[in-house]
Amino acid sequence: MLGIVLQQAINGVVVGSLYVLVALGLTLIYGVLVQINFAHADIVTIGAFAAYGVTHLLSGNYLAGIAAALVVGAALGYLVNATIFVPLRERGNELLPLIATIGVSIMLQNGMLTLLGPIPYAFETPYSNQVIRFGGLFLTVQNLLIIAVSAASIAALYAFMKFTFLGKALRAVSQDRETAGLMGINPNSLIMLTFVIASALAGVSGALLGPVLVLTPFAGTSVIVKAFAIVIIGGFGNFEGAIIAGLLVGLIESYTTQFLDPGLVDIVVFALLLAMLAVRPTGLIAEKREENV
């Protein structure tokens, strides 16, 4: 019994690590702009297909596929901000960018459906069938890579936000955009950087998700719903909350699948979301914003 509990804990951490990467991109954009990018799901999907294409093109070089997904995700983030958020932000209506990203999401999904077709793609990497065993537990090298890349990405983002000049400037923009501009910080450049980083994370998460899920033009949509739930449970705009909530949801899914029924996974996760909204609507860790007097 203990072996099953530990094995499902490992599986939960793997799934939770993927959710955290997706959720952190949403959290980053919301923390700076107080906006939701609904096209984020499709950047995850495109990142997965970019990794798939490069991996097969380079005869199984999956690490190059992850790097390609990062670059493609960052480029898409730049384009979405430049073509959608920048023009609409100047109009002063916060709903316009939100509605526009829904349109972008539909456009990207149908574009992928036209180019790639509805048939699922099997994305296997050289690490998918390599199994590490210790005691009665096992872990594929692919899953170990997912945990390692996710942890490295989270650590790099945390270090960037806490210890670099650009990271501190980005945090200043999230606190008060106008005051940051008066202090010599260019808010528009920092917002662009936010989109690039968030979308790069989405691309990497897609590259990691591809070998785990069935790869279709709608693969990211199934994950983004959980990511939204994680952002709410963790606390909108809060990095630490998103990390804790992502791992928590991964563990809940794993144990629900093992001990209850796989069909109950979504019910249990969203029951937790509703309970959190009822008991603590600010999330596990409430977002803190300083007021300038």
Q: Is residue 30 part of a domain?
A: yes
Handedness of CA 7, 120, 208, 256 (dihedral sign): negative
Sort 124 into a burial class: Cβ within 10 Å, 0-12 / 13-18 / 19+: middle
| 139 DSSP β-pair partners | 132
Number of separate domains in the chain: 1
Query: How many residues belong to the chain?
Result: 293
- DSSP strand E in the chain: where? 131-134, 137-140
Domain that holds residue 23: 18-218
Give, for all 293 residues of the chain, the pLDDT tens digit. Answer: 777 888 889 989 999 999 999 999 888 888 887 788 888 999 999 999 999 999 988 878 899 999 999 999 999 999 988 888 888 877 767 788 888 888 899 999 999 999 988 888 888 888 888 888 887 788 889 999 999 999 999 999 989 988 888 888 888 888 777 777 777 788 888 889 999 999 999 999 999 998 888 888 888 887 888 888 898 888 877 888 889 999 999 999 999 988 888 888 888 888 988 988 888 888 887 655 443 33
Give me 163's structure tokens: 């210890």
User: What gap in Å lies between CA 43 and CA 71, rounded to an integer?
Assistant: 11
Predicted pLDDT at 92: 65
Amino acid identity of residue 93, one-letter, is: N
Do residues 26 and 36 lie in contact, with contact meaning Cβ atoms separated by under 8 Å? yes
Backbone angles phi, psi at 133, to 5 degrees: -115, 135
User: What gap in Å lies between CA 182 and CA 89, rounded to an integer?
Assistant: 19
Predicted pLDDT at 288: 55
Q: How many CA atoms lie within 13 A of 288 on its CB side?
A: 6
Q: Is residue 126 part of a domain?
A: yes
Query: Residue 212's closest CA among 152, 150, 140?
Result: 140
User: What gap in Å lies between CA 235 and CA 38, rounded to an integer?
Assistant: 18
> Could you count the other beta carbons within 10 Å of the beta carbon of residue 239?
21
Q: Is residue 271 part of a domain?
A: no
* 131-134 and 137-140 strand pairing: antiparallel
Q: Is residue 172 part of a domain?
A: yes
Query: In sequence order, which ranges of the chain are alpha helices (DSSP H)?
Result: 2-33, 40-57, 62-80, 86-89, 95-116, 141-163, 165-175, 177-182, 187-209, 219-234, 239-259, 265-279
User: What gap in Å lies between CA 146 and CA 14, rounded to an integer?
Assistant: 7
